Homo-oligomer: A and B are copies of this chain.
């Protein structure tokens, strides 16, 4: 992105030669950065309210670093599914990066100081925590207040009942479960907080790497549940944040 161009534009705005609305239109039409192997969507932050995350699976370390280089002055960096090898390289290159090794996640930048809303993220088991973390960091990077509670699956339902009130107070709850994936259904029967269900690939035998909990969640007899892809904490966090931002901002406009 040509930063001089933007600077000039902003100067015009400041001087009153351009209205904010005009400037916004210009910005929305700015070209993406073309790295040949990748076109970085530089105005997504403007359009969508969040920077493009770098989905790193099947990208080489060189490609990832090049993309970070181009983006890091303009926005926070969220890199998901980072291969272990690339993670180490990133750690060396950007000592300031926050690394979440079990989630294969990297965040470079600053979480917004001011947060809005309240997102509760709960998991059925200990093994689901890496997915929860991906969800949490994504939402935090978008300025949402988050809270996490782990290992409250239904095989000991009293653990779940003990957090019922906390769940009720949240704007949205992300409920993460592997194996048979029944937790979102049970939670949805208890409270009126909308639930985003995330199936995980935790389990064995006929759980088929997450298909079993995915089907459970899609077929939930309790309404008020929507579902994202297996292990996709990023998508759950993004959707939850998008909902909160859209609706709370609307109120405050």
Residue A230 interfacial (CB < 8 Å): yes
Tell whether A218 is near chain B: CB-to-CB under 8 Å.
yes
- Stretch of A5-13, A19-27, A68-76, A235-243 with 4 or more beta carbons under 8 angstroms from chain B: A235-243
B180 touches A221 (CB 8 A): yes
B221 touches A125 (CB 8 A): yes
A81 to B207, CA, bound (A): 15
Copies in the complex: 8
Q: If the complex has contacts A219-B206, A230-B204, are A156 and B242 also in contact, measured as CB distance less than 8 A?
A: no
Mark each residue of chain A from 123 to 145: 1 if its CB lies under 8 Å from any CB of chain B, else 0.
01111010000000000000000
Quick check: is A94 within 8 A (CB to CB) of the other chain?
Answer: no
Q: Considering the complex, give the chain B residue whose CB is closest to the CB of A60.
A: B102
Q: Are A162 and B226 in contact (CB under 8 A)?
A: no
Q: Are B219 and A223 in contact (CB under 8 A)?
A: no
- Whether A151 contacts B247 by the Cβ 8 Å rule is no
- Interface residue tally for chain A (C-beta within 8 Å): 103
Q: Are B232 and A189 in contact (CB under 8 A)?
A: no
The yes or no answer to A225 lying at the interface (CB within 8 A) is yes
A206-234: which residues lie under 8 A (CB-CB) from chain B? 206-208, 210-232, 234
Cα–Cα, bound, A222→B214 (Å): 18
Is A109 close to B, CB under 8 A? no
Residues from chain B with Cβ under 8 Å of A38 in the complex = 126, 150-151
Is the CB–CB distance between A206 and B218 below 8 Å?
yes
Residue of B nearest to A81 (CB): B204
| A residues 46-98 touching B (CB-CB < 8 Å) | 47-50, 52-53, 55, 57-60, 63, 81
**Cβ A215 vs Cβ B212 within 8 A:** yes
Give the contacting residue for A36; candidates B150, B193, B225, B242; CB below 8 A. B150
Could you show 18 A-B contacts with beta carbons less than 8 Å apart? A32-B158, A32-B159, A41-B159, A48-B192, A57-B127, A63-B126, A154-B185, A157-B189, A179-B221, A180-B221, A204-B229, A211-B215, A212-B215, A218-B227, A223-B239, A224-B239, A224-B242, A227-B228
Q: Which 10 A-B pairs give the minimum distances between C-beta atoms?
A: A205-B230, A182-B182, A58-B127, A226-B226, A41-B156, A205-B229, A212-B215, A247-B247, A155-B222, A223-B238
